[in-house]
C-alpha cells in the first residue's frame, strides 16, 4: 500500500466510526509560545481537551504534519542514525473529547491494524505495552482482544519518580494526564534491539508504531490526581513507520515516498548511494525545511528561524560530504512537491518561495562552509585526545556560521566529542570584549559572523549541555 493511500485509509476508517476529519494545522503552533513547532496531532486540540474550547464534534481524526527538531521532543540527532526518526513526519491520530474511552480506543486501533478488511497485519508480530498499574487496559488487551500475556508488557515509573515513565503522559507539571498503551511491531531477530522496557529498547527491532494516551486525571499543583469527569483519548501513529511495516521494509527510508525522494537527491548529488546516511539526512531535511518555509518560518539567528537555519546548514554540509560544490538542496523542492503536493497544496503554492529561501541560505553558507571545514579538519588532525576544543567550536560558529549541532554532527562521525564548557567560556570572553569595546565607544560588531553571536534563550540541549544559538 502506497503511503498516500495509507493516509487516506486511516482517515476513512475513523470517519466511518463517527470521527470528523480535521485538516492538519500549521507547523507554527497557533497562539502557543511554549511550543517550538507542532510536534503531535493533539496540539491543535489542546484547548478542547482542557475544556476551554467547544467543537461541534466529540470525535476527530487527522494526519498532522509534525517537526521534532528542537524543544521537548528533539529527534534531529537521531536522523541518519535510526531507521525510525525524522525531523518532519506525519502523525495519524484519532481523538475522543470526553466521548469514548479505553475499550473503544483499544478496539479501534487493533481492528485497524489487524482486521482483514483493513491493514490485516499478523497479530504475532505485534506487541503492546500498558502502564504498570493499568489493569483495565491490560484486561482489555488480554481478554478483550486476545493478545497473549507474553506479548503485553507492563511499563512502570522507570526513573524512580512518580509519573516520570514513558508510559504515563502529562501535558505539563499540572493538568490533564494519564496512562498510555503503545503498540510495537517486531521487525525480526536479525535486527538489533530489545523489547520495550528492556535495556536495549532503543534499538530498531521493536518499533513503536502507535501511542494511545488515556487522559484520565487532572494533576493539581499539590500533586493530587483527580479523576476527570469526562476522560478523553489522544492517539498518534507515525505514517512513515506504519507504511514501512505495510511495505515489508524495515526502515522508514525504504518506503515509496522516501525512495523517490532519495532517488531525486541522488540524481542531484552525482549518483550517491541511496543507503548512504548523508543522503538520508538530506532527504529527511528537505521535508522539514520546505514545510517550515511553507508555514511561514524564515531562516534567522533566533528562535524558530534559527532551528530552520541549522537544518538547512546541516543538509548543505551532508551534501558537501557527498561531493556537492554548489547549491543543490533547493532543487530537491520540486521532487518533494511532486510527491506531497497533492496532500499538501500549500507546498505547491509556496514552491517558488521555498526554492528562493533555500538557495539564498545555501549561497550564503557556501561562502564559509569550505573554510570552516578546513579549519576543523586541521584541528582534528592536530588533536590530542578526543575532544574538540571550545575555541574551535566558537570560531566555527562565530566566523564560519557553523551551528554547534553541525560541528557536533561532524565530531560524532569521527567518534569525537565537544568541549561545551570551553565553548561557553569563549562565548563569554567574546561578550566581555564587546562590552569593554562599547564602553569606549569603539564600533565593535558582535554579530559580524555569519552565525551571529546574538544569543536566544534556547530550546536546545545536546548531551545535557545547552547549545548556543
Q: Report the site for ligand ATP in 64-93 (rule: CB under 6 A).
A: 68, 75, 84-86, 89, 91
Nearer to ligand ATP, 84 or 318 (CB): 84
| CA distances (Å), origin 464, targets 130, 203, 364, 456 | 29, 21, 31, 18
Contacts of 418 (CB under 8 A, 6+ apart): 387, 388, 390, 393, 404, 407, 408, 411
Residue nearest to ligand ATP (CB): 238
Q: What does the binding site for Mg ion look like in residue numbers (CB under 5 A)? A: 208, 211
Query: Which range binds ligand ATP by CB under 6 A, 97-105, 146-154, 237-245, 319-327?
Result: 237-245
Q: Is 280 in the site for ligand ATP (CB under 6 A)?
A: no
- Phi–psi pair at 153, nearest 5 degrees: -115, 125
Q: In this structure, how many other beta carbons lie within 10 angstroms of the beta carbon of residue 426?
A: 20
Q: In this structure, how many other beta carbons lie within 10 angstroms of the beta carbon of residue 422?
A: 17
Q: Is 284 in the site for ligand ATP (CB under 6 A)?
A: no
Nearer to Mg ion, 58 or 165 (CB): 165
The entry of Mg ion, ligand ATP, none that residue 85 binds, CB within 5 to 8 Å by partner kind: ligand ATP
The entry of Mg ion, ligand ATP, none that residue 59 binds, CB within 5 to 8 Å by partner kind: none
Query: Using CA atoms, how far apart are residues 297 and 283, in angstroms rounded to an integer?
Result: 19
Helix (H, G, I), strand (E, B) or coil at 422: helix
- Phi–psi pair at 286, nearest 5 degrees: -65, -30
Query: Which range binds ligand ATP by CB under 6 A, 112-120, 203-211, 264-272, 375-383?
Result: 203-211
DSSP 69: B
Query: Using CA atoms, how far apart are residues 177 and 355, in angstroms rounded to an integer?
Result: 42
Query: Using CA atoms, how far apart are residues 2 and 5, in angstroms rounded to an integer?
Result: 5
With CA atoms as reference, report the closest residue to 118 among 252, 250, 210, 246.
246
Helix (H, G, I), strand (E, B) or coil at 352: helix
With CA atoms as reference, report the closest residue to 318 among 264, 279, 376.
279
Nearer to ligand ATP, 75 or 295 (CB): 75
Which of 97, 137, 178, 208 touches ligand ATP (CB under 6 A)?
Answer: 208
- By CB under 6 A, how many residues form the interface with ligand ATP? 16
> Using CA of residue 266, residue 271, residue 276, residue 279, what is the dihedral sign?
negative
Query: Which range binds ligand ATP by CB under 6 A, 51-59, 208-216, 286-294, 300-308?
Result: 208-216
Query: Which range binds ligand ATP by CB under 6 A, 138-146, 207-215, 258-266, 358-366?
Result: 207-215
Query: Using CA atoms, how far apart are residues 319 and 321, in angstroms rounded to an integer?
Result: 5
Nearer to ligand ATP, 67 or 322 (CB): 67
Q: Is 236 in the site for ligand ATP (CB under 6 A)?
A: yes
Nearer to ligand ATP, 66 or 426 (CB): 66
Nearer to Mg ion, 206 or 394 (CB): 206
Query: Which range binds ligand ATP by CB under 6 A, 49-57, 220-228, 234-242, 406-414?
Result: 234-242
Q: In this structure, how many other beta carbons lie within 10 angstroms of the beta carbon of residue 107?
A: 15
* Cβ 364 to ligand ATP shortest distance, Å: 28
Query: Using CA atoms, how far apart are residues 355 and 327, in angstroms rounded to an integer?
Result: 11
* Cβ 87 to ligand ATP shortest distance, Å: 7
The entry of Mg ion, ligand ATP, none that residue 240 binds, CB within 5 to 8 Å by partner kind: ligand ATP
Nearer to ligand ATP, 260 or 379 (CB): 260
Q: In this structure, how many other beta carbons lie within 10 angstroms of the beta carbon of residue 385?
A: 9
* Cβ 466 to ligand ATP shortest distance, Å: 22
Contact residues for ligand ATP (CB under 6 A)?
A: 68, 75, 84-86, 89, 91, 208-211, 236-238, 240-241
Amino acid at each position: 500500500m502506497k503511503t498516500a493511500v495509507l493516509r487516506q485509509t486511516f482517515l476513512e476508517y475513523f470517519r466511518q466510526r463517527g470521527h470528523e476529519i480535521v485538516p492538519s494545522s500549521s507547523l507554527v503552533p497557533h497562539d502557543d509560545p511554549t511550543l517550538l513547532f507542532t510536534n503531535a496531532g493533539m496540539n491543535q486540540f489542546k484547548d478542547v481537551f482542557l475544556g476551554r474550547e467547544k467543537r461541534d464534534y466529540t470525535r476527530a481524526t487527522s494526519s498532522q504534519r509534525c517537526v521534532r527538531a528542537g524543544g521537548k521532543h528533539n529527534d534531529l540527532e537521531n536522523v541518519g542514525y535510526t531507521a525510525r526518526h525524522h525531523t518532519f513526519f506525519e502523525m495519524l491520530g484519532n481523538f475522543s473529547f470526553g466521548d469514548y474511552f479505553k475499550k473503544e480506543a483499544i478496539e479501534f486501533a487493533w481492528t485497524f491494524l489487524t482486521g482483514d478488511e483493513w491493514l490485516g497485519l499478523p497479530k504475532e508480530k505485534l506487541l503492546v505495552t500498558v502502564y504498570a498499574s493499568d489493569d483495565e487496559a491490560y484486561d482489555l488487551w488480554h481478554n478483550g482482544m486476545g493478545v497473549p500475556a507474553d506479548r503485553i508488557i507492563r511499563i512502570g515509573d522507570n526513573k524512580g519518580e512518580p509519573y516520570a515513565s514513558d508510559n504515563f503522559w502529562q501535558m505539563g507539571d499540572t493538568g490533564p494526564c494519564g496512562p498510555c498503551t503503545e503498540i510495537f511491531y517486531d521487525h525480526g531477530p536479525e535486527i538489533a534491539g530489545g523489547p520495550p522496557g528492556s535495556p536495549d529498547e532503543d534499538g530498531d527491532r521493536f518499533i513503536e508504531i502507535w501511542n494511545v494516551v488515556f487522559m484520565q486525571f487532572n494533576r493539581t499543583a499539590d500533586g493530587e490526581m483527580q479523576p476527570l469527569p469526562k476522560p478523553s483519548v489522544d492517539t498518534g501513529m507515525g505514517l512513515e513507520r506504519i507504511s514501512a511495516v505495510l511495505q515489508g521494509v524495515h526502515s522508514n527510508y525504504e518506503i515509496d515516498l522516501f525512495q523517490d525522494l532519495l532517488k531525486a537527491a541522488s540524481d542531484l548529488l552525482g549518483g550517491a548511494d541511496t543507503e548512504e546516511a548523508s543522503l538520508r539526512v538530506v532527504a529527511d531535511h528537505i521535508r522539514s525545511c520546505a514545510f517550515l518555509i511553507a508555514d511561514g518560518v524564515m531562516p534567522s539567528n533566533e528562535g524558530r528561524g534559527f532551528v530552520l537555519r541549522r537544518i538547512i546548514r546541516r543538509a548543505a554540509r551532508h551534501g558537501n560530504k557527498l561531493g556537492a560544490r554548489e547549491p543543490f538542496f533547493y532543487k530537491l523542492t520540486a521532487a518533494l512537491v511532486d510527491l506531497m503536493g497533492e496532500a499538501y497544496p500549500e507546498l505547491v503554492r509556496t514552491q517558488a518561495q521555498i526554492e528562493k529561501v533555500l538557495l539564498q541560505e545555501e549561497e550564503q553558507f557556501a561562502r564559509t562552509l569550505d573554510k570552516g571545514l578546513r579549519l576543523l579538519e586541521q584541528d582534528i588532525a592536530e588533536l590530542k585526545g578526543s575532544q574538540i576544543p571550545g575555541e574551535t567550536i566558537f570560531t566555527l560558529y562565530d566566523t564560519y556560521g557553523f551551528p554547534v549541532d553541525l560541528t557536533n554532527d561532524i565530531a560524532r562521525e569521527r567518534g569525537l566529542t565537544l568541549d561545551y564548557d570551553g565553548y561557553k567560556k569563549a562565548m563569554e570572553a567574546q561578550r566581555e570584549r564587546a562590552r569593554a569595546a562599547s564602553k569606549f565607544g569603539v564600533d565593535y560588531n558582535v554579530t559580524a559572523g555569519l552565525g551571529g553571536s546574538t544569543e536566544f534563550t534556547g530550546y536546545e540541549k545536546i548531551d545535557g549541555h545547552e547549545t548556543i544559538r
